[in-house]
């Protein structure tokens, strides 16, 4: 495993934190949070306007979008303000919103919940459901007048806090392997743990419910309750992410999380874990900024082992340390991955033990399992079956939506989402009936999707995401078509792509990772792996989009023709000299 401590050097200057600085020394975002009174008011520093008033104006069609201050608060409500971008990247199109739901552990969604989520796609968005790389769902092209009706629909029919803390400077969606409680060996009860953590770290302010769950005009007067026992008045410096692995699956990429948990094997004969003891990892995160050496993708650091009854407390303690000690002026330095390295692992361990009473045991970490896809039929622990379907780039389009809806409703199935942007249909009692319904709707079976395409994921990127430099979801399928036509579809290499170096689809831990640089250029990484315990290295610092198929084709052919049988492609890439790989590809680094 790479030693990610060596990959980043803390700056010499002390952090601007709650411990040592005043609000006026911090970033504008910190003032906005502090003056919001629990996310209720949008304040520009001179006057404060209830956030709900901007939402009401949107609903009445009096304005196209929300203001810059409200934009920052809207993220805590699972909403991103966007403007459609044209081919050259300029934001010149319609004002729209992306709305994300909170979905701890990727569900297990009932047939009724899925129907509500499916209805929302047509009624309020662009007819598609977007599965995210964090086991959640996004709606795209939500126009202003439909934003509040969408959130209220989700609150009534999905869950009461459907979008609360799906984004923002708080704990985001808690991920869990879809195998937990469904597929053996053993049951570490990771899903139950994810739900506990999500509940413990959920915001407590009344603002969300006043804005979205009532039509009473009084909701625009004052917050009913502003206390945030975990987050305080300024919440966290940046987003916070938690992931829980299965003893036989690391599809949640736990070393990329702020807090990562792995169940310890308790039955050596079967490899099963009962969930009584967990490895605690902390300080992962893959975002970086181009041409800024003070930022870097970093893997989590092993802190030790903790018993099951202390996992929630330990997670809250780490969030508390980040609240107190995290950088609050430079948001590029504000993630916990930087804070823990500034403090130092020994000090974090000491604080967990002495201040928070966490019985942290010193022990070497258990080896991480590989990531799994869960495609096709699997026997579930309750005697039923699950059926995993590959969803290209997580985009469930109308034709696939219809097939899924028919199968889920007719057979009363449950739904789980995966960190690979795929969907599992659970509680299958009649396999033949399920396949008959899916076939009737033209839903491709997993075995009809090439291994290369099944392993590929991408973020939405352009034309909606305001941070994206290039396309990702809209272009990667076209590259897959060309690679399959060249006879490379059966090469089982994991490709992950994003439109910018925020790396939402986790390219730095992929066997081949791609992220955007400029309007049509891409950085190409190689050498991550399916265990998620190694950061890929740069192979091409900048390659134009028109040459990407040639680059990918050359790398896949090198694996097909040169990699020894039984060696994972990512491990083989990591063992090769980059210059030799580029020679085999036949393209020099053009940066």
Query: Tell me, what's the pLDDT at 5?
Result: 38
Query: Tell me, what's the pLDDT at 377?
Result: 96
Query: Tell me, what's the pLDDT at 274?
Result: 93
Q: For 453-585, CATH number?
A: 3.30.413.10
Is beta strand 395-396 parallel, antiparallel or unpaired with respect to 376-379? Answer: unpaired
Query: Tell me, what's the pLDDT at 8?
Result: 78
Neighbours of 398 (CB within 10 A): 13
Q: Are 152 and 142 in contact (CB under 8 A)?
A: no
Tens digit of each residue's pLDDT (9 = 90 or more) over 131-171: 999 999 999 999 999 999 999 999 999 999 999 999 999 99
Torsion sign (Cα): 271, 273, 277, 282: positive
pLDDT band at 1 (very low <50, low <70, confident <90, very high): very low
Six-digit token string for 435: 């396949």
Tens digit of each residue's pLDDT (9 = 90 or more) over 386-429: 999 999 999 999 999 999 999 999 999 999 999 999 999 999 99
Confidence (pTM): 0.96
Six-digit token string for 303: 């802190």
Is the predicted pLDDT of residue 591 greater than 60, yes or no? no
Tens digit of each residue's pLDDT (9 = 90 or more) over 308-338: 999 999 999 999 999 999 999 999 999 999 9
Fold of 4-38+168-354: Sulfite Reductase Hemoprotein; domain 1 (3.30.413)
pLDDT band at 221 (very low <50, low <70, confident <90, very high): confident
Q: Are 78 and 101 in contact (CB under 8 A)?
A: yes
Query: Tell me, what's the pLDDT at 129?
Result: 98
Q: Are 359 and 306 in contact (CB under 8 A)?
A: yes
pLDDT band at 183 (very low <50, low <70, confident <90, very high): confident
- DSSP, collapsed to helix, strand or coil, labels residue 61 as coil
Who contacts 90 (Cβ-Cβ below 8 Å, separation ≥6)? Answer: none
Quote the distance between the C-alpha of residue 467 and its chain's center: 16
* Cα separation, 185 vs 247, whole angstroms: 8
Architecture of domain 376-449: Alpha-Beta Complex (3.90)
Q: Are 442 and 362 in contact (CB under 8 A)?
A: no
Who contacts 410 (Cβ-Cβ below 8 Å, separation ≥6)? Answer: 433, 437
Q: Are 1 and 534 in contact (CB under 8 A)?
A: yes
Is the predicted pLDDT of residue 439 greater than 80, yes or no? yes
Query: Tell me, what's the pLDDT at 4?
Result: 39
Q: Where in the chain is the domain with CATH 3.30.413.10?
A: 4-38+168-354, 453-585
Is the predicted pLDDT of residue 3 greater than 60, yes or no? no
Quote the distance between the C-alpha of residue 371 and its chain's center: 15
Quote the Cα angle for 394-467-233, to 5°: 100
Average per-residue pLDDT in the chain? Answer: 95
H-run or E-run covering 116: helix 111-124
* Cα separation, 515 vs 471, whole angstroms: 9
Q: Residues 59-76: what's their mean pLDDT?
A: 96
Q: Where in the chain is the domain with CATH 3.90.480.10?
A: 376-449
Beta bridge partners of 278: 263, 306
Q: What ranges in 295-416 are assigned the alpha helix state H?
A: 311-325, 336-343, 345-354, 398-411
Is the predicted pLDDT of residue 2 greater than 70, yes or no? no
Query: Tell me, what's the pLDDT at 7?
Result: 62
Six-digit token string for 136: 């959640």
Cα radius of gyration (the chain)? 23
pLDDT band at 218 (very low <50, low <70, confident <90, very high): low
- For the chain, give the percent of residues with pLDDT over 70: 98
* Cα separation, 412 vs 425, whole angstroms: 10
Q: Which residue in the block uniquely carries the two structure tokens 């948001």?
A: 331
Torsion sign (Cα): 497, 503, 507, 513: positive
């Amino acid at each position: 495993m790479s030693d990610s401590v060596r990959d980043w050097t803390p700056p010499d200057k002390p952090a601007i934190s709650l411990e040592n600085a005043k609000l006026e020394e911090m970033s504008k975002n910190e003032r906005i949070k502090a003056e919001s009174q629990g996310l209720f008011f949008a304040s520009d520093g001179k006057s404060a306007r209830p956030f709900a008033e901007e939402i009401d104006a949107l609903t009445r069609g009096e304005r196209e979008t929300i203001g810059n201050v409200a934009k920052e608060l809207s993220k805590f409500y699972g909403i991103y303000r966007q403007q459609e971008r044209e081919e050259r990247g300029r934001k010149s199109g319609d004002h729209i919103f992306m709305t994300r739901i909170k979905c701890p552990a990727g569900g297990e969604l009932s047939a009724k919940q899925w129907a509500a989520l499916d209805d929302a796609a047509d009624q309020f968005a662009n007819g598609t459901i977007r599965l995210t790389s964090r086991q959640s769902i996004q709606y795209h092209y939500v126009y202003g007048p439909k934003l509040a009706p969408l959130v209220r629909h989700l609150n009534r029919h999905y869950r009461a806090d459907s979008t609360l803390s799906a984004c923002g400077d708080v704990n985001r969606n808690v991920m869990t392997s879809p195998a937990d409680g469904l597929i053996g060996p053993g049951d570490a009860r990771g899903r139950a743990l994810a739900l506990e953590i999500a509940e413990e770290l959920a915001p407590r302010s009344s603002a969300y419910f006043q804005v979205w769950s009532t039509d009473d005009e009084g909701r625009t007067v004052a917050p009913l309750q502003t206390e945030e026992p975990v987050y305080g008045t300024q919440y966290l410096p940046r987003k916070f992410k938690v992931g829980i692995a299965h003893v036989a699956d690391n599809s949640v990429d736990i070393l990329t999380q702020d807090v990562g948990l792995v169940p310890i094997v308790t039955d050596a004969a079967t490899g099963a874990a009962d969930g009584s003891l967990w490895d605690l990892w902390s300080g992962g995160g893959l975002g970086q900024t181009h041409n800024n050496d003070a930022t870097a993708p970093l893997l989590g650091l092993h802190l030790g082992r903790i018993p099951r009854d202390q996992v929630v407390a330990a997670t809250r303690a780490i969030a508390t340390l980040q609240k107190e000690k995290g950088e609050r002026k430079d948001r590029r330095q504000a993630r916990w991955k930087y804070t823990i390295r500034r403090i130092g692992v020994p000090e974090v361990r000491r604080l967990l033990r002495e201040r928070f009473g966490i019985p942290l045991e010193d022990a070497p970490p258990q080896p991480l399992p590989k990531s799994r896809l869960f495609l096709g039929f699997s026997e579930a622990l309750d005697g039923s079956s699950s059926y995993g379907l590959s969803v290209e780039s997580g985009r469930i389009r109308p034709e696939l939506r219809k097939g899924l809806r028919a199968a889920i409703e007719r057979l009363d199935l449950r739904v789980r989402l995966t960190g690979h942007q795929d969907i599992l249909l659970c509680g299958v009692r009649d396999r033949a009936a399920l396949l008959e319904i899916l076939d009737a709707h033209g839903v491709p079976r997993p075995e009809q999707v090439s291994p290369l395409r099944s392993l590929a994921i991408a973020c939405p990127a352009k034309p909606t995401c305001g941070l994206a430099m290039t396309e990702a979801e809209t272009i990667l399928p076209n590259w897959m078509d060309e690679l399959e036509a060249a006879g490379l579809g059966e090469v089982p290499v994991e490709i992950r792509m994003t439109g910018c170096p925020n790396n939402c689809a986790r390219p730095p831990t992929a066997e081949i990772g791609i992220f955007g640089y400029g309007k049509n250029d891409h950085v190409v990484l190689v050498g991550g792996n399916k265990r998620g315990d190694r950061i890929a290295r740069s192979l091409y610092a900048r390659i134009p989009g028109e040459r990407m198929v040639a680059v990918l084709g050359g790398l896949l052919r090198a694996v097909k023709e040169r990699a020894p049988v039984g060696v994972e492609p990512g491990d083989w890439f990591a063992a090769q000299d980059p210059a030799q790989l580029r020679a085999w590809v036949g393209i020099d680094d053009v940066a």
